[in-house]
Structures are given as C-alpha cells and as structure tokens.
Amino acid sequence: MEFLASCGITLWQTLPLGPTHQDGSPYQCLSLFAGNPLLISLERLAGQGWLSPEALPGDGPHPQRQRHALLMQAQQNFFRHSAAEQRTAYTAFRANEAYWLEDYALYRALKYSHDERIWTQWPAKLRDRDPEALEEARSDLEPIIEHIYFEQFIFSEQWQAVKSAANVRGIRLFGDMPIFVAHDSADVWAHRADYDLDEQGNPRVVAGVPPDYFSSTGQRWGNPHYRWERIAASGFRCWIERLQRQLQLFDLIRIDHFRGFEAYWEISADHPTAINGRWVPAPGEALFNALQQHFGALPLVAEDLGLITPEVHALRHKYGLPGMKVLQFAFDGSAKNPYLPHQHETNCVVYTGTHDNDTALGWFQKLPPEQKQYVDDYLGAPGEPMPWPLIRAALASVAHLAMIPMQDILMLGSEARMNTPGTTSGNWRWRFTWGQVTPDIPERVRHLIQLYNRG
C-alpha cells in the first residue's frame, strides 16, 4: 500500500479474488463469494500469534500442502488461545455469511473427499442434494468444513485490513465480477435450478463469444447459462447477494462481459468451439432496475469490449455506467477509431491494456514497421521508450479513470503476459517481485499523475 501511495495512485484494480480451479483462472472460480486461501498472509498470522515465526518457510511462495498444514496449525492456535472478542468475531462471520458459506464449505469438503472430482460425478444423492445424505456428509466431514470456515474468516479479516489501509491513504479498491459462473462451483451445485442443466446436472448450452479479435474460432468458456426467467421471478436475489458481497470487498466493481446482459452467445454443450452459436436476449434492463432499486447509484464499470451493438451502448448509458477504452485496440489506422484518446468520452475508463492483452511493450514490439510508425506519429514521435508514451496517452485522456497494468509500469515484455484468450494453459501465472521495482518508479509515476491532474 505504501508503494501505491508513494506513486500518488488512488485506485487499485485486481482480478477476481475467488478460489480457482487448477488452471488458475479467476473467471472460473469455485465460488462467487469465497476468497482464495492462497491469498492469506501466513506472516500476518504469525504476527497475530496464531503461527510461530520459526514455522514459516523462507522467502518465496509457499507450496500449497505446506500452506494447508500451516493454516491448520493457525486454526488450532486460534481456537486455543484467541480472546473472547476474536471468537465473537468468528461466530458473527459464520452467521452473517451463512447464506453462501455453509454451502461452499460443504461443497469444498465433498470435493476433497471425492478426489476433487466435479460434483456431477459424485454419488447421485450428494449430486442431487438429498437432505439426509447432506446431513450425513456434514457430520462425517465436520473437521474439514470447520477448517474451511476458518480460512474464509481469516481471508475476510485480512482483506478488510487491506481495504482499510488503502482507504485511509485515499486509495479505493477496484474489483472484478465475472458475469458467468463456473459449472464446477458451489453456486451451481447449491442452486442448480437457476441454471440450464439436464437431469444429471450437465449444461445443455454453454457460454462464450463468437470469433473475434482474439480467436478465429471464438471463445468457448463452458459456463452454464442462467435460467433468467427463474432468476427474474426471484427478484434477482442471487445478483443482489453477489453485488452485496463484492461491495464488502471493493469500492468500485468492473462487471465482466457486460454485453451478455443485453444478449448472450449460446453454444450447444456438445460443440467443441464457439463458432456455431446464437445470440439470445437477456433481461439486462430488468436486472439493473432491480440492482438500482436495492443499492441506489451503482458503483460499476461495464466491460464493453468486443462486438458491441447500439442496444448494448443504450443499456450502459441508461444506468450511467462507464465503459472501457483499451489503447492497444486504437491504432488500426482510422482517425475515427473509438479507442483513440481524442475520441474518448469522460465517462469511461482507459487502459493501456488489460489482463487479456499482451503487455504494452510486447504488443508494440510485435507490430509491423508501418504500424509502429503510425503509433509514433500519433503519440508525437516520443523520445522515451515504450510503454511510457502509451502510459502518458492514457493519463492525458479525458477518461474519468486511467488504469495502468503493473507489467507496463515495470516495462516488461510478452514474457509477463497474464492471459491469452482462447487458450487453457500457461495463463494466470505472472507475478512481480519487489526487486523489479526500481527506486525511480514512484517519482516517475507520481510526476505523470500530477502532470495530468490524475490525483
């Protein structure tokens, strides 16, 4: 947090924080509500007295099994030695978050006891949530379930400490909420009737997008689609609960794939690619009416990239939601390209690139010579190395907010790319180290923020 404050940065955006599957994608999480226990700071637990400092391994990431063992130790020490006030906080967390926590803890315990298999491969009574079978499982798996409660309590406690530390420094937290839900998740298992599934729990149709900038075969995400008529009949309860939870964690939230609220791409579940599908209307207006009625002004940003129709723009404008402008999409040679800074509107968020793009340096290095020249001409034949000219263009935009990926601040190339859409391996692995943050970076960033009145 001190680094952000020293740079003069007042908004910090993260990827979704949920527990992931083995591929690491934060857009295919095991829960819409839970936090990823890999984000729990063991050092902070040691500082609270729940772990011995000597038990912690050296620098670097801790192997998952080792982390699990240490978290088990922390749980034991917490219940043996915590003060009454701390135990009261734990009890209150269990009660306040029971609407999602109980199903999630049972789901995770059942996955563990079934070798991490998807819930559709569990015994039929557990798959179909037979009450007697679930009660027996809760009894048999009580120690595992209790540990998952503890993990989520600690995650929540630590994240609230992060949020408080940010907010007191004038830094807001900017979250990210996927539109769709992973099929293998506590939410789909626990609320199966809200999704378009067959009798065995398998999707009839799945989500994705048709061929686009990123992939000639489109992107087949595989998420089950909602039964929107049922969700609407409930007053959009599940979406209200989702947003309520995210607003506990963040000050501002990006909604991924906003165009799916106007119409979504429906692919038959037996099709291997997203080429063959159809657009199906979605009740976006009714949903956002319900959210606005419940929350008032919506602190949301619409991810409106891709194939965007006038109807999608109208939906976003009706609720005053900022859209996104990505500078890497701007330089196709047309002065009317909406992503060029001189075309930006105030109510938007400009990015040099997102987690789905190459880094700005990697992108620029791959451009053909004539396109590099066009970029240089537009940016005023800059004398400083890429990606700083692109960073300057983002900060100079009239867009209300400007977001710069850490990879671009560190001037990293394609080796630091976070995700390549349409691929399923080798993504979501990039991490920076503090050794990469040179002493000149805070002053350089702070100077540009002040120069363009971004404070």
Count of Cβ atoms closer than 10 Å to residue 214 Cβ: 17
Kindly report which listed range (40-54, 158-172, 344-358, 362-376) carries the lowest average pLDDT score: 40-54
Query: CB–CB of 291/297 below 8 Å?
Result: no
Q: What is the largest CA-CA distance in the chain?
A: 71
Model pLDDT for residues 103-151, shown as the tens digit of each residue: 999 999 999 999 999 999 999 999 999 999 999 999 999 999 999 999 9
Indicate which residues carry an active-site annotation. 256, 303, 356
Q: Tell me the residue type at 272.
A: P
Q: What is residue 68's three-state secondary structure?
A: helix
Task: Say how far apart CA 47 and CA 53 lie, in whole Å.
Answer: 8
Burial of 150 (0-12, 13-18, 19+ CB in 10 A): buried
Going by C-alpha positions, the residue among 3, 37, 4 that lies closest to residue 20 is 37
Cis peptide before 387 (omega within 30 of 0): yes
Average pLDDT on 76-86 reads 94
Average pLDDT on 397-402 reads 98
Model pLDDT for residues 311-326, shown as the tens digit of each residue: 999 999 999 999 999 9
Query: CB–CB of 56/74 below 8 Å?
Result: no
**Domain spans, the chain:** 2-451
Given a cut of 70, whether residue 290 has pLDDT beyond it is yes
Count of Cβ atoms closer than 10 Å to residue 43 Cβ: 11
Count of Cβ atoms closer than 10 Å to residue 290 Cβ: 19
Phi then psi for 234, rounded to 5 degrees? -85, 5
Model pLDDT for residues 352-398, shown as the tens digit of each residue: 999 999 999 999 999 999 999 999 999 998 889 999 999 999 999 99
Segment holding 278, helix H or strand E: strand 278-281
Phi then psi for 140, rounded to 5 degrees? -65, -35
Is the domain 2-451 a CATH 3.60.20.10 member?
no
